[in-house]
Amino acid sequence: MCYHLAFSLAAVRMAGLGLGPADFELFEIDDPERRAAALEATLQPKLQAIGEQCLGGLSRLSGRPLHPHLVRTPPRRGHAPGEVLLAFCDTPGGWRGVPYLGVAVTRAHLHARIGVRGDSPARVAMGEALQREAANLARKGKPFRKLRAFGGWDHEELPELAPAHLAAFWVELAEGLAPGAPGLDVGVAFGAEEARCLALGDLLGVFRDLAPLYKVLSAAAEKVPESLALTGRRSPVRPPG
């Protein structure tokens, strides 16, 4: 390997994402309003900077232009924010109801996530597509070996590793996309110490592993007729096959 190429690869590996212990310690602030203000002032700008670094690579992985959206969780009285999330999706106007790739920071972890939150007519189509592809996704093996399901997570102990080698797991995820259901939220978590040393290429590598799931969801959402999306009507729900 030539010297210049070796030097460039070493520089990429050494280039961290800019997160340090102080960023994770913001989640130790007990007062909900003070924590929310600290996250907005300090962590959100850092996450947006990471998003700018990721955007080109994520767009290439997904095969379509993506747009970053900073997810602002509505404040709940007496409840401090448990995470900061930057979602990337192919809709410039918003991220709700469509599949997204997400980078999230919590008290002790950095996450690479795929999700669908919020209702939309496309959710039925996405759920049906995920059911059809359940067996194929289960056969992927290695790319999903560290996958966890974060639906309903309390931002404390990490959920158990998902049984992604089972088609039934993917069918269960698909059921979460039915109208009125919670949606979909899965991903891979890095501990705070590991995240401090994580390079951009490492993060993009995780999203490369997760890309098959995103492509199933985004392809299904894209096929929903524009007229259906505009009227807000939903397709009939078919039972799991």
- The backbone torsions φ and ψ at residue 148, rounded to the nearest 5 degrees and listed phi first, read -130, 150
Structural domains in the chain, sorted by start = 3-231 (3.30.930.20)
- Cβ 64 vs Cβ 86: under 8 Å: no
Q: How far is CA 113 from CA 38, 68, 85, 186, 218, in A?
A: 23, 14, 9, 6, 15
CA distance readout (Å), 202 to 14, 49, 175, 205: 11, 16, 31, 5
- Give the other-Cβ count within 10 Å of 152's Cβ: 9
Question: For the chain, which residues score pLDDT lower than 50?
Answer: 1-15, 227-241
CA atoms within 13 A on the CB side of 60: 7
pLDDT in tens, 24-55: 999 999 999 999 999 999 999 999 999 999 99
DSSP H/E element including 186: strand 184-191
Longest dimension (CA), the chain: 60
- pLDDT single digits (tens) 188-209: 999 999 998 899 999 999 999 9
Q: Provide the whole-model pTM.
A: 0.85
Place of tokens 């002032």: 41
112's torsion region: left (phi>0), alpha (psi -120 to 50) or beta?
A: beta
CB distance 19 to 49 below 8 Å: no
